[in-house]
């Protein structure tokens, strides 16, 4: 009986995650710290920005932001809100209410990276504040 317990316990621990647990990596407040805008020759690098743009992701699949999440702008324009979904590679926000596209979000080395639909790479990098 003990052998069966030792075999089944790791299986339960590894398969016990659900969708709610998958969102905990993004849940919290994030502050914009860097922007990457490639000029078309592959030389683009993240550059520090002085912006108060913040995004707060909640466990229920909603977010609030001090700027437009679907815009590459670093400006703070007042509170906005919306929903996000979990994908196989990270997260996604549909931007159909303002623009006809989506932005993809990934957690990379502890940073939140938002990828915009540009011809050349254009990314925002956020650091978690809490």
Residue range 40-52, pLDDT digits in tens? 888 899 999 999 9
Per-residue pLDDT tens for 56-84?
Answer: 999 999 999 999 999 999 999 889 999 99
Residue 38 maps to which CATH number? 2.40.128.280
User: Which residues form the domain of 29?
Assistant: 21-128
Entry pTM:
0.77
Would you say residue 91 lies in a domain? yes
* Average pLDDT taken over every residue of the chain: 82
pLDDT at residue 110, rounded to an integer? 95
d(C-alpha 61, C-alpha 34), whole Å: 25
Q: How many domains does the chain have?
A: 1
Q: What is the pLDDT of residue 119?
A: 85
d(CA 45, CA 6): 49
The model's pLDDT over 11-38, given as tens digits with 9 standing for 90+, comes to 333 334 444 444 469 999 999 999 999 8
Q: How confident is the model at residue 101 (pLDDT cuts 50, 70, 90)?
A: confident
Q: So what's the pLDDT on residue 97?
A: 57
Q: Is residue 115 part of a domain?
A: yes
Place of tokens 């995004």: 55
Q: Indicate the pLDDT class of residue 127, thresholds 50, 70 and 90.
A: very high
**Does residue 11 belong to any structural domain of this protein?**
no
Task: Report yes or no on 15 lying in a domain.
Answer: no
Q: Is residue 3 part of a domain?
A: no
3-state secondary structure 63-83: EEECCCCCCCCCCCCCCEEEE
In a domain, 14, yes or no: no
| Residue whose token pair is 């299986």 | 11
Phi (first) and psi of residue 20, to 5 degrees = -60, -40
């Amino acid at each position: 009986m003990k052998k069966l317990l030792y075999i089944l316990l790791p299986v339960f621990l590894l398969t016990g995650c659900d969708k709610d647990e998958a969102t905990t990596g993004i849940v919290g407040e994030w502050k914009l710290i860097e922007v990457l805008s490639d000029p078309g020759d592959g030389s683009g690098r993240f550059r520090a920005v002085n912006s108060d743009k913040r995004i707060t992701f909640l466990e229920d699949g909603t977010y609030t932001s001090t700027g437009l999440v679907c815009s590459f702008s670093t400006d703070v324009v007042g509170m906005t809100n919306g929903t996000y979904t979990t994908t196989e590679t990270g997260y996604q926000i549909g931007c159909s209410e303002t623009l006809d596209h989506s932005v993809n979000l990934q957690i990379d080395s502890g940073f939140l990276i938002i990828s915009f639909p540009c011809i050349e790479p254009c990314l925002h990098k956020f650091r978690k504040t809490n």
